[in-house]
Structure 1
Amino acid sequence: MNTKILILLGLAALATADSGEFRGYGDSQQSFESYESDDAKYNFNWAVKDDDSGNDFGHQEGRDGDNTQGSYYVHLPDGRLQQVAYQVVGDDGYIADVQYEGEARYPDSFESRESPRYTPPRPAYYDSNESK
């Protein structure tokens, strides 16, 4: 009896698939309409400034068709501000102008930094032949 029910369910699934009610990923009859535009146009801008951590960076970009222009900036760990202005026109590639403000500052030596130095622990070996 169970075999007859399984065969009946299998035939019902096959009939549903053939009738077009079920369409899988591989169905070649399915078509999609593209809403993609040839002329891309956008503008965005964002920035982060956190005095506690020292993070200060941002980015802005605008695009109209094949012409993209933008800039970004970041405060480097050495104290300088790096600013990059860029543009992309058609297939000419990415053209960037990189500028730095300020002068790089480094500590005199590693020991003069405020953070403590990491010292790995000394290895300890156990000799299984030793008596306790």
Structure 2
Amino acid sequence: MFSKVLCLVAVISVAAAQYGHGHGHAYSSQHISRHDGPAHAVHVHGHDHGHGHGHHDHVDYYAYPKYDFEYKVSDPHTGDHKSQHESRDGDHVTGYYSLHEPDGSERTVHYHGDKHSGFHATVKHQTHHIVPHHHHHHY
């Protein structure tokens, strides 16, 4: 059911983006692809912790996490422009995001992480230079 709702939201977002994109309107889009494995029962062994009932076991569920996620927002009226993409395969995550800062520069962050090497990110700032055009009037 969750996947059907996400698909519906994505279709509506794309339709809105296609309608508004050509007319200078704000638009956003998102896409999520889940590739999780089937859920497997995991028996978790607990301890008494002083309650006098001995050992306790309970069942939890684990599914192998795997997904791709992306979104984009572009609003020329507010200047809000940003995007993100992330992929996960087990404990390995990679992704990037970018956004336009209020000063006109663009910040881009590429990141990756896993349980062995931890989290690493590379941040770049890019300034877009605006060259003014001078108009000369001849009278």
TM-score, length basis structure 1: 0.50
Cα deviation digits, residues 8-46 of structure 1 (max 9, x gap): xxxxxxxxxxxxxxxxxxxxxxx9743322x31111000
Quick one: which of 52, 58, 68 aligns to 2:83?
Answer: 58
Tell me what 2:72 maps to. Answer: 47
| Pair 72,81 (structure 1): closer, same or farther in 2 beyond 3 Å | same
Q: Contact between 1:78 and 1:104, CA under 8 Å: does it hold in 2?
A: no
Q: Secondary structure at the match of 2:60?
A: coil
Please identify, of 96-105 and 45-54, the stretch whose mean Cα deviation from structure 2 is larger.
Answer: 96-105
Tell me what 2:122 maps to. Answer: 97
The answer to whether the aligner puts 1:84 opposite 2:102 as a matched pair is: no
Cα deviation digits, residues 72-130 of structure 1 (max 9, x gap): 0110011100000000022422100111111589xxxxxxxxxxxxxxxxxxxxxxxxx
Q: How far is 1:56 from its partner?
A: 0.2
Tell me, which stretches of 5 or more residues in structure 2 are unaligned? 1-56, 131-139
Q: 1 CA distance for matches of 2:124 and 2:114?
A: 21
**CA RMSD of superposed structures (Å):** 2.2
Tell me, which stretches of 5 or more residues in structure 1 are unaligned? 1-30, 106-132
Tell me what 2:62 maps to. Answer: 36
Q: 2 CA distance for matches of 1:86 and 1:46?
A: 16
Q: What is the percent sequence identity of the aligned residues?
A: 31
RCO greater where, 1 or 2, for CA within 8 Å and sep 6 or more? Answer: 2
Tell me what 2:51 maps to. Answer: none
Larger strand fraction of residues: 2
TM-score, length basis structure 2: 0.48
Q: 1 CA distance for matches of 2:114 and 2:62?
A: 20
Q: How far is 1:53 from its partner?
A: 0.5
After the TM superposition, list the runs of 4 or more consecutive aligned residues in structure 1 that deviate by more than 2 angstroms.
Answer: 31-35
One-letter code aligned to 2:68: N
> How many residue pairs were aligned?
75
Q: Contact between 1:79 and 1:103, CA under 8 Å: does it hold in 2?
A: yes
Quick one: which of 69, 73, 83 aligns to 2:94?
Answer: 69
